[in-house]
Amino acid sequence: MPVLDESLVPILDEVVARNPGEREFHQAAREVLESLGPVVRKHPEYADAEVIRRLCEPERQIIFRVPWQDDAGRVQLNRGFRVEFNSALGPYKGGLRFHPSVYLGIVKFLGFEQIFKNALTGLPIGGAKGGADFDPKGRSDAEVMRFCQSFMTELYRHIGEYTDVPAGDIGVGGREIGYLFGQYKRITNRYESGVLTGKGLTWGGSQVRPEATGYGTVFFADEILRTAGDSFDGKRVVISGSGNVALHAIEKIHQLGGRVIACSDSDGAVVDEAGLDLELLKEIKNGHRGRVSDYAAARDGARHLAGGTVWSVPCDIALPCATQNELDEDDAKALIRNGCRIVAEGANMPTTPAAIRLLVDAGVRFAPGKAANAGGVATSALEMQQNASRDSWSFDYTEQRLGEIMRSIHDRCLETADEYGTPGDYVAGANIAGFTQVADAVLALGVI
Ligand SMILES: NC(=O)C1=CN([C@@H]2O[C@H](COP(=O)(O)OP(=O)(O)OC[C@H]3O[C@@H](n4cnc5c(N)ncnc54)[C@H](O)[C@@H]3O)[C@@H](O)[C@H]2O)C=CC1
Ligand SMILES: O=C(O)CCC(=O)C(=O)O
């Protein structure tokens, strides 16, 4: 069980005191700090230069008003955020989330995670996150466009190819990135392709970026299997969510011979023992922005668990790909009882700390999001590379690069876990490898 080193207790206390009520951020900070005991004992120079305290304080936090008009002509008001957390390794990089639950604590936890995730990719990107408490559900395209334009009318002055490069997250996909990019171009009169990633293929986007987070999570899980001499072939898999990450994870698992038998949305889960029909699911989710209950209604043999989750469905592998803290202790117990052997996080911090402890103690191989879902941001960095060189790569080449990056993150996690005396512990390996990479850069750049 991870224990917080005594020397780090005052730092966590300070995080809690300086960020009152932001419980997701406290949770994310605790989870990283709990891994750093062996690091501070081996490297006193980090504590001497207050590197950990500095990493826990965002470099800049921007909060702004987003007024917009709905289709009935009524004025609506939302709150926008961008937390530029750390830029020691490169320009701030991380997604935008549009969801009613968004507040500063969510954006900060996501930005904090992003620092270490981005470091793990080995690519030159710092960490940030942003978003708004806007709910795109039920809004027309025109309303989403007006919201995005208003959001960018403030955000544009804080971002840029060499400064801060946002992308998508929950509620922000290709449509929203298009509207945001259009408004940025209009305001600045610059076709600055590298200012956003997740763009469409005809206007500066990269092949594989839409697929990258889901594919990358599956590549990571595949490496875990390979390390044990196993493969996806014939495995029963459950995946939470049915958005960008989940749908592409399903696609890759089916390509690798596994069978995804359940997925979900915020209203419930769908179980299809024959294996999910991805084309039908995509048509419902992407074509009509429908619900998984529509899938159950349209497909023979599928059943809808209204208000339920996928964790009660017996499986070999579980991939949480929806949202934070969606897999709790009871869910972990159900997974363990039903023989699940691997949990790899496609979402950010979807597994509660108590659930992680139960899974690890039961011998389930657990891959934390900052390692397992790093394929999305890594491919964003590849998009930035292509934009910088006015180039565009083929699907196969880009997917091959993604595969190499995920294998390298996997191996680095295991090597680092070995080096710091916690063999096989992906959580410690990811936290320590990400932390030391960024901490060395922070030290090198002086007190800034
Ligand atoms: N899009 C990306 O490239 C990356 C996304 N992530 C993370 O992956 C997760 C999913 O993001 P996307 O797929 O991009 O978002 P999305 O907006 O495309 O999909 C989110 C999905 O989660 C479902 N959902 C939301 N709350 C739920 C709940 N309580 N129970 C079950 N399902 C629920 C929604 O119905 C939707 O299907 C988030 O945690 C995000 O931070 C992580 C790395 C990169
Ligand atoms: O592609 C990006 O810049 C952001 C991806 C993201 O938001 C994440 O990794 O959670």
- Per-residue pLDDT of 130-139, as tens digits, reads 999 999 999 9
Closest among 149, 134, 136 to 78, alpha carbons compared? 134
Three-state DSSP at 96 gives strand
Residue 129 a catalytic site member: yes
202 annotated to a ligand binding site: no
- Interaxial angle between packed helices 395-419 and 426-444, expressed in degrees from 0 to 180 and rounded to the nearest 10: 90
- Residue 157 is classified by DSSP as G
Question: Measured from the CB, is residue 312 less than 6 Å from ligand 2?
Answer: no
User: Whole-angstrom Cα distance, residue 242 to residue 28?
Assistant: 24
Q: Of 114, 197, 239, 265, which is best to mutate to test ligand 1, by the most ligand atoms within 8 angstroms of its C-beta?
A: 265
User: Whole-angstrom Cα distance, residue 236 to residue 338?
Assistant: 11
> Ligand 1: which residue has its CA nearest to atom 1?
169
Q: Which residue among the candidates 129, 199, 235, 285 is catalytic per the annotation?
A: 129
pLDDT of residue 2: 80
- C-alpha to C-alpha distances, 61 to 54, 80, 84, 157, 278, nearest whole angstrom: 14, 11, 6, 13, 40
> Ligand 1: which residue has its CA nearest to atom 2?
169
Which tokens in the block code for residue 92? 């701030």
User: Is it the case that residue 89 has pLDDT exceeding 80?
Assistant: yes
> What's the 3-state SS for 216-242?
HHHHHHHHHHHHCCCCCCCCEEEECCC
Atom of ligand 2 nearest to the CA of 373: 9
The model's pLDDT over 276-331, given as tens digits with 9 standing for 90+, comes to 999 999 999 988 889 999 999 999 999 999 999 999 999 999 999 999 999 999 99
Whole-number Å distance, alpha carbon 4 to ligand 1 midpoint, is 30
The proportion of the chain whose per-residue pLDDT surpasses 90, expressed as a percent, equals 98
Query: Quick check: do 60-191 and 211-372 share a fold?
Result: yes
Confidence grade of residue 248 (pLDDT, cut at 50, 70, 90): very high
Which ligand approaches the C-alpha of residue 311 most closely? 1
Whether the complex's predicted ipTM surpasses the cut of 0.95 = yes
Question: Measured from the CB, is residue 242 less than 6 Å from ligand 1?
Answer: yes
CB 165 within 8 A of CB 384: yes
Question: Measured from the CB, is residue 194 less than 6 Å from ligand 2?
Answer: no
User: Whole-angstrom Cα distance, residue 131 to residue 167?
Assistant: 10
Whole-number Å distance, alpha carbon 250 to ligand 1 midpoint, is 14
User: Whole-angstrom Cα distance, residue 148 to residue 136?
Assistant: 11
Q: Answer whether CATH 3.40.50.720 is correct for domain 211-372.
A: yes
Whole-number Å distance, alpha carbon 242 to ligand 1 midpoint, is 8
The structural domains of the chain, with segments of one domain joined by +, span: 6-55, 60-191, 211-372
The proportion of the chain whose per-residue pLDDT surpasses 70, expressed as a percent, equals 100
The CATH superfamily of 60-191 is: Leucine Dehydrogenase, chain A, domain 1 (3.40.50.10860)
* Global confidence as pTM: 0.98
Closest among 322, 256, 308, 243 to 282, alpha carbons compared? 243
Closest among 364, 363, 361, 286 to 318, alpha carbons compared? 364
> Ligand 2: which residue has its CA nearest to atom 7?
95
